[in-house]
């Protein structure tokens, strides 16, 4: 399993700022554009019914006022990243990915 702090750094580099939040509390005021992520899965590989490889799965959500932002494309290019959905809420565009890291 790779370090979550390494993932934090990679996401900050993609975004071009430190507005990357891991499991933010409801009391935090987010600055847009931003990336919000949380651990949501563990991908386990088995051999002879024993786990030998684990990768944490994260739900990564890019939130931006700009509907034409190129940042979601940069996230989608990450290894083991799967685009899930796009939705708009409160005039903010949300692009949701599953990323195994």
2 confidence band (pLDDT: 50, 70, 90): low
Give the start-to-end residue ranges of the domains of the chain. Answer: 4-100
- In angstroms, the CA 98 to CA 10 distance is 15
pTM value is 0.91
Instruction: Summarize the confidence of residues 84-98 as an average pLDDT.
Output: 98
- In the DSSP assignment, the letter for residue 15 is H
> Over the stretch 42-73, which tens digit does the pLDDT of each residue have?
999 999 999 989 999 999 999 999 999 999 99
| Residue whose C-alpha is closest to residue 70's, from 18, 20, 16 | 16
Report, in this order, helix, strand and coil percent for the chain, each rounded to 5.
20, 50, 35
Counting residues of the chain whose pLDDT is more than 70, the rounded percentage is 98
CATH topology for 4-100 is STM4215-like (3.30.2000)
Counting residues of the chain whose pLDDT is more than 90, the rounded percentage is 94
Contact by Cβ (8 Å): 81, 97: yes
Residue 95 CB coordination number (10 Å)? 21
Give CA 50 to chain center in angstroms.
28
């Amino acid at each position: 399993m790779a370090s979550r702090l390494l993932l934090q750094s990679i996401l900050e580099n993609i975004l071009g700022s430190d507005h990357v939040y891991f499991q933010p509390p409801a009391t935090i005021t987010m600055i847009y554009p931003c990336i919000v992520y949380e651990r949501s899965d563990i991908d386990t590989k088995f051999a002879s019914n024993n786990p030998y490889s684990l990768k944490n799965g994260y739900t990564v959500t890019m939130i931006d006022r700009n509907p034409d932002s190129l940042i979601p494309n940069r996230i989608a290019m990450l290894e083991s990243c799967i685009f899930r959905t796009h939705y708009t809420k409160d005039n903010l565009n949300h692009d949701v990915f599953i990323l195994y890291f």
